[in-house]
Structure 1
Amino acid sequence: MANIKSAKKRAITNEKSRLRNKAIKTNLKTAQKEFDQAILSNDVEKAQEACKVASKKFDMAASKGIIHKNAADRKKAQLAKKVNALG
């Protein structure tokens, strides 16, 4: 553990942000899994709704710097491609 006061504060801040980032990443994975289940069930309407929700979550994560903007855009494009292939 750090001895300097500012380093102690920084360690606490880092831990808070690590937990927040972990929660958001978990939320992203959950949204992607829900989308994948909708695709597997061949339900176009449900897949479109899941795509919309997942895209919003990817954008939010990218805006907070949790994932890179290009990575978020790539994931969103992959989701849209799967929805369009469904029909």
Structure 2
Amino acid sequence: MANHKSAEKRHRQSLKANARNKAMKTRVRNAVKAVRTAVSEGNADQASVALTQATSILDTAAQKKVIHWRNAGRKVSRLSQAVNQLRSA
């Protein structure tokens, strides 16, 4: 346990940040899962709506430094590719 007042505050702040980051990562996983589920079911309309939401969530997570910006870009790219293949098929 921290012995100094500033260290105690820092610990409290780190716990809050940890909770925020954990929640954001969960949102990211759920959004990606929604797109993949819609693609696997073959529902193009639902997949495109889910892709829009997932893109927004991934961009926010990257902006807040919860995930790396290249990781977010890669996920958006791969999800978009899957949705586009579904539309063209």
TM-score of the superposed pair, with normalisation by structure 1: 0.97
Q: Which runs of 5+ in 2 are unaligned?
A: none
Which residue of structure 1 aligns with residue 8 of structure 2?
Answer: 8
Query: Aligned-pair distance for 1:81?
Result: 0.4
The alignment yields a C-alpha RMSD, in angstroms, of 0.6
SS at match of 2:42: coil
Structure 2 matches for 1:71-82, cutoff 5 A? Answer: 71-82=71-82
Alignment length, in residue pairs? 87
Q: What does residue range 21-60 of structure 1 map to in structure 2 within 5 Å? A: 21-60=21-60
DSSP-derived class of the 1:2 partner: coil
1:59 to partner: Cα distance: 0.1
Segments of 4+ moved more than 4 angstroms: none
**C-alpha distance in 2 between matches for 1:74 and 1:37:** 18
What is the TM-score of this pair, normalised by structure 2? 0.95
Residue 40 of structure 1: CA displacement?
Answer: 1.1
Q: Percent identity, please.
A: 39
Distance 1:44 1:86 in 2: 6
